[in-house]
């Protein structure tokens, strides 16, 4: 899952980015409204954390513009605690949820997980495909109840496929959602990661759909 953090406070931006990266997300960051607006308008993010008070272009204007341009990714806004009007304006502009400052990082992470699940119509934090289980809360993966250790790249790939279970996901989409903008994007690496995941899981739930991409399917289904 690839996220965008738009926050002008350098310390807060760093704290958020570190916590999100530790939690297994790929994170791009922006420090003002213009830069954030441009990234959110042109890159395919799975969710955005957007501060309301930003230099150059305020968060509400950024969000309104994204929604006008048809950008539908979930947006979690950061508001000042006493500014109820920010929250109302934010929701009206198309925000999906908010966290008031100062906040606990755990709350931001939990709200993000909920947004990411709901964006794909999934109510629980656990995902299943046949004997494979992925818990997006703990980042644990198991097969028939036995834990499987995946690297962060492998986990991200499997989590993305689990979130989009039921449809074919192209390699391009995976590259766009699993790497940040500075990464050398080579879709062959995806094939390598898929191979490693298949091997570690020991059950083949990732089907290659020739010319199109990958599709999750329970064995025997």
Footprint on this chain of Ca ion (rule: CB under 5 A): 8, 51, 53
| Closest to Ca ion by CB, 47 or 49 | 49
- Which residue, 47 or 54, is less far from Ca ion as judged by CB? 54
Q: Report in angstroms the alpha-carbon separations of 2 from 28, 40, 130, 179, 204.
A: 8, 11, 26, 7, 25
Nearer to Ca ion, 29 or 164 (CB): 29
* Farthest-apart Cα atoms in the chain, separation: 55
Supply the minimum distance, in Å, between the C-beta of residue 111 and Ca ion.
18
Shortest approach of Ca ion to residue 92 CB, angstroms? 20
The least CB distance from residue 54 to Ca ion, in Å, is: 6
CA 4 vs CA 59, 147, 174: distances in Å: 13, 30, 16
CB of 8 to Ca ion, least distance (A): 5
E-strand spans in the chain?
2-6, 26-30, 47-51, 75-80, 97-101, 126-129, 132-135, 140-143, 146-148, 206-209, 213-216
Whole-number Å distance between alpha carbons of 54 and 12 = 13
* Smallest gap from residue 7 Cβ to Ca ion (A): 6
Of the two residues 36 and 213, which places its CB atom closer to Ca ion in the complex?
Answer: 36
- Give the full edge-to-edge strand order of the sheet including 132-135: 126-129, 132-135, 140-143, 146-148
Pick the closer one to Ca ion by CB: 8 or 96: 8
């Amino acid at each position: 899952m690839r996220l965008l953090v738009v926050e002008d406070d350098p310390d807060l931006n760093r704290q958020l980015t570190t916590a999100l990266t530790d939690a297994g997300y790929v994170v791009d960051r922006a420090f003002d409204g213009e830069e954030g607006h441009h990234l959110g308008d042109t890159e395919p993010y799975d969710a955005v954390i957007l501060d309301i008070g930003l230099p150059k272009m305020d968060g509400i204007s950024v969000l309104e513009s994204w929604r006008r341009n048809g950008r539908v990714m979930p947006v979690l806004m950061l508001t000042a605690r006493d500014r109820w009007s920010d929250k109302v304006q934010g929701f009206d502009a198309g925000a999906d949820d908010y966290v008031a400052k100062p906040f606990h990082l755990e709350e931001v992470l939990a709200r993000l997980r909920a947004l990411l699940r709901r964006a794909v119509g999934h109510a629980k934090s656990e995902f299943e495909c046949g004997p494979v289980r992925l818990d997006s809360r703990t980042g644990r993966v198991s097969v028939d109840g036995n834990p499987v250790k995946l690297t962060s790249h492998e986990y991200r790939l499997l989590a993305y496929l689990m979130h989009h279970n039921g449809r074919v996901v192209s390699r391009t989409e995976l590259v766009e959602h699993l790497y940040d903008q500075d990464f050398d994007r080579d879709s062959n690496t995806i094939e390598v990661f898929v191979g490693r995941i298949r091997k570690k899981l020991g059950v083949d739930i990732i089907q290659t759909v020739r010319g199109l991409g990958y599709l999750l399917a329970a064995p025997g289904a």
